[in-house]
């Protein structure tokens, strides 16, 4: 079994840690807000008091943190216990701007750096059905295979250079689709309501037709029923729109729909919906 340190036990990290524990892997967990990590003790995790304690003796270190700056700061705190040859799988969405510094940190300390963000939200994470978008050297893949096979339905190995960020680049393209589609659905549901219709009628029009999808049904149902339990929070989605914009700007690509989605998310945050699921962008269609 692979000894894993999970740094970051939010919605995604906690679900991944539980799957690793069920798969028989020893897992040490750490989270800045300790109360988010402590419930994992009941699943068999060793709850660490610091990042350094969590990574001590680990074969694989996973960071599942909100952004690149946080990942870098946490790994710096872990430095006293990091050892040359450890595999570091960066599995959060950190953006291209941070990736070079993360890879440089790994190189300075002799860590094997793998850029491996995941496609999927709360439910796929809980089910172990994430898609892992990985870039890293061949010699890390053996150590990571049992880990990735436990938390994901499949792994796409894209490149042998983790510092090149192929995983992050593909993740940004994929999450741009999800974010933009959520905003489009929100506007359509809100428009139906604003025009005096039962928003559920929109589902009757789209269900079973060429525009139907599981994603459409999930987000539309949440909006119609007002169920915004977070799977991927508005606040995180807004952060992602900025990372996507920065990446697109560096590539001289315009992402108008993404940028408009970002404005909607910021309005929803101002209205107090930042910690709800990104389907709560629905509220941004109405006056505060």
The pLDDT-based confidence of 288 (bands split at 50, 70, 90) is confident
Percent of the chain with pLDDT over 70: 100
How many contiguous H segments (helices) and E segments (strands) does the chain have? Answer: 11, 9
Asked which of 114, 130, 164 is the last residue of a domain, the reply is 164
Average pLDDT over the chain, rounded to an integer:
97
Nearest to 102 by CA among 79, 136, 82, 72: 72
Backbone angles phi, psi at 33, to 5 degrees: -90, 105
pLDDT-based confidence at residue 26 (cuts at 50, 70, 90): very high
| In contact, 14 and 43? CB cutoff 8 Å | no
CATH number at residue 177: 1.10.1040.10
85 token code pair:
């040859």
Supply φ then ψ for residue 141, to 5 degrees.
Answer: -70, -35
Between the CA of residue 240 and those of 91, 129, 191, 235, 268, what are the distances in Å? 14, 21, 25, 9, 15
Owning domain of residue 231:
169-285
Residue 1 in this model has a pLDDT that exceeds 90 = no
Residues 130 and 194 in one domain: no
- 227 alpha-carbon distance from chain centroid: 21
Q: What is the pLDDT of residues 190-209, one digit of tens each?
A: 999 999 999 999 999 999 99
Q: Whole-model pTM?
A: 0.93
Mean pLDDT of 67-84: 97
Residues 169-194 as b or e (16 or more Cβ within 10 Å = b) = bbbbeebbebbbbbbebbbbbbebbe
DSSP bridge partners of 5:
28, 61
Q: pLDDT digits over 84-131, tens only? A: 999 999 999 999 999 999 999 999 999 999 999 999 999 999 999 999
User: Domain end: 141, 164, 187, which one?
Assistant: 164
| Contact in structure between 216 and 257 (CB atoms under 8 Å) | no
Please identify, among 164, 182, 197, the residue that sits at the C-terminal boundary of a domain: 164
Structure tokens at 151: 């938390």
Is the same domain home to 209 and 128? no
How many domains does the chain divide into?
2
Q: At which residue do the structure tokens 């909006």 appear? A: 223
Mean predicted confidence (pLDDT) in 27-32: 98
CB of 243 closer than 8 Å to CB of 195: no
User: In Å, how far from its chain's centre is CA 89?
Assistant: 13
Compute the average pLDDT of residues 68-84.
Answer: 97
Same domain, yes or no, for 200 and 241? yes
pLDDT at 206: 96
């Amino acid at each position: 079994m692979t000894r894993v340190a999970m740094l970051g036990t939010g919605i995604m990290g906690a679900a991944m840690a539980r799957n690793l524990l069920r798969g028989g892997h020893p897992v040490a967990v750490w989270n800045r807000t300790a109360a988010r990590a402590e419930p994992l003790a009941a699943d068999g995790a060793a709850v660490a008091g610091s990042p350094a304690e969590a990574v001590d003796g680990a074969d694989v270190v996973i960071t599942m943190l909100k952004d690149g700056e946080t990942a870098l700061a946490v790994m710096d705190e872990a430095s006293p216990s990091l050892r040359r040859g450890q595999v570091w799988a960066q599995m959060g969405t950190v953006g291209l701007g941070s990736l070079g510094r993360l890879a440089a940190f790994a190189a300075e300390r002799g860590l094997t750096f793998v850029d491996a963000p995941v496609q999927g939200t709360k439910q796929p994470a809980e089910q172990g059905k994430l898609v892992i978008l990985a870039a890293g050297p061949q010699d890390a893949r053996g150590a990571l295979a049992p880990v990735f096979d436990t938390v994901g339905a499949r792994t796409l190995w894209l490149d042998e250079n983790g510092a090149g960020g192929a995983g992050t680049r593909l993740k940004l393209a994929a999450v741009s689709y999800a974010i933009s589609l959520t905003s489009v659905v929100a506007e359509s549901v809100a428009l139906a309501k604003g025009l005096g219709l039962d928003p559920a009628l929109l589902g009757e029009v789209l269900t079973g037709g060429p525009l139907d999808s599981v994603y459409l049904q999930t987000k539309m149902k949440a909006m119609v029923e007002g169920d915004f339990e977070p799977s991927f929070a508005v606040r995180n989605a807004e952060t992602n729109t900025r990372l996507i914009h920065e990446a697109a700007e560096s590539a001289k690509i315009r992402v108008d729909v993404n940028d408009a989605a970002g404005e909607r998310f910021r309005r929803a945050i101002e209205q107090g919906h930042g910690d709800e699921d990104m389907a709560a962008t629905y509220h941004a269609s109405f006056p505060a």
